[in-house]
Structure 1
Amino acid sequence: MAPPKPEDSSLSPERPSSRDRDSSERGKKRARTQSMPPPELPKLVAEQHVPIPTNDKDTQRLIVVLCNATLETYKASHGTGRGPGAREDKYNLLNSDDHIGVMRKMGRDISEARPDITHQCLLTLLDSPINKAGKLQIYIQTSKNVLIRVSPTVRIPRTFKRFAGLMVQLLHRHQIRSTSSQEKLIEVIKNPITDHLPPNCRKVTLSFDSEIVRVSDYIGGLNKGESIAVFVGAMAKGNDDFADHIKDDSIAISQFNLSASVACSKFCHAAEDIWNIF
């Protein structure tokens, strides 16, 4: 039997020990690494380029009026008088989640405190391409008959808690201005709503008792240059006759019971398709 061949040192070089590697690395300066900046957060708020001026009565547009919106404040605590260090009265926006006990003391149904419906509708409308294209106007008619105009460029808070604080400020000061300019982003305006609609405007309400139509077909049937104002109920329940005294037409857009936010989105999407807004 032949004796084993000696190992060829050229084929299997001796590896340095971990202690040797550590000592050699200590003498070398490590290359500095530069971390990449975090990616920009997506812009989730509406930023339209050219809003329709308030005095423009000719440009074709979609107008959404959120009717019977339950935006109401109540005094949560009293202030401590006047002078330095005094605290003002504290007001909250009534909502069915936090103020069930308050509503019961008032003898009212909790369905009368659903400002979250208005919040959902505003987020849907302001995020839409038609708003960013400058073809959308938004109004709110509260259950207390307060008329509010919402600027298409406003950044509505995405959390309800911050939205509630904003609405309390609006209902007491009657306007919210931009922090960077004197532009009124949300303001209380004079009734009636018809004074703020363009003359060539078809006023439409939604009703289960009407014939179901495809929204895109309905908007496609508008006259040339004719705008459309749709009145959407922003309440949990109630009659849909809030705009019967001014309506030109009444339609149904689904065989199912839709939320106010979905109804708003159907009109936005239909107008975008017909008016080639992408």
Structure 2
Amino acid sequence: MTTLFERADWEPLAAAHAARVDTLLADHLARRQRREKHPVEDFLFTYYPTRPNQLRVWHPGPGIRLRGGTQYKEKKGYRYSEDVADLDPDEIARRTDSITWIHQLLSATAGRQPQFGCFGLHEWAMVYRTADIRHDWPLRLGSTGTDQVVESHKIACSHYDAFRFFTTPARPLNLLQPTREAQPSLEQGGCLHANMDLYKWSTKLMPFTPSSLVLDCFELARDIRTLDMRASPYDFTALGYSPIEIETPTGKATYAAAQRAFADRAGPLRLQLATLCEQLLTT
């Protein structure tokens, strides 16, 4: 079943979406204009490939047809006929394998018990016993203190795209050895990176993903990134980020509580994306 939106119906929605994007990205774009890097917030535009101008394009999602949507005429994933634009079923069919894999991952993760005992040690394992640190910022405890934290804790990272950045000496210390192939059988909803990646999957599914869902996932990823870096071995106090000292009982409790709150936020978004995949696969 489809719904036809007249121009007067959908243009205000598109404008509101663009305004929301402009508000979310204002600081990032201002820094980019000044050619100023930010080690925390730039992550959403360096690690994830979606560009700000791509986020500004409003996508209504499946089942919505847009009268007068001439700007969608040349956009990939759309078809345009008789002054009406909607999603192109041929593009959905072409991407069936990708949609199926994403659905498998999202569904498996949603059905798995979340774990809250990792304490963000993946970031510490990425700088273990190396002078080649990923960010040009000081380590809060120095190299020796950072190594001691890694060696005195159980490392239990289940996320492949975090584990693959572990230093060589840190890899054997992890209780799991994640691979890309095993990703659907390992990811769980307590993992910060698995929840941050909901933004990645929402954009991988564009233009099929409703833009409101994409931005909800973006906001979640932005907030998680802040926690991830506050709990990391880096000292970002000069940027206004107070550290979460996960090497202490108080820091561990703070981290785990925030992790649970993010898992609660991520759960409904993950289910919305899984439902979207199901809808696309039955189109």
TM-score (normalizing by structure 1): 0.24
Judging by fraction of residues, say which structure has more strand: 1
TM-score (normalizing by structure 2): 0.23
Judging by fraction of residues, say which structure has more helix: 2
Higher Cα Rg: structure 1 or 2?
Answer: 1
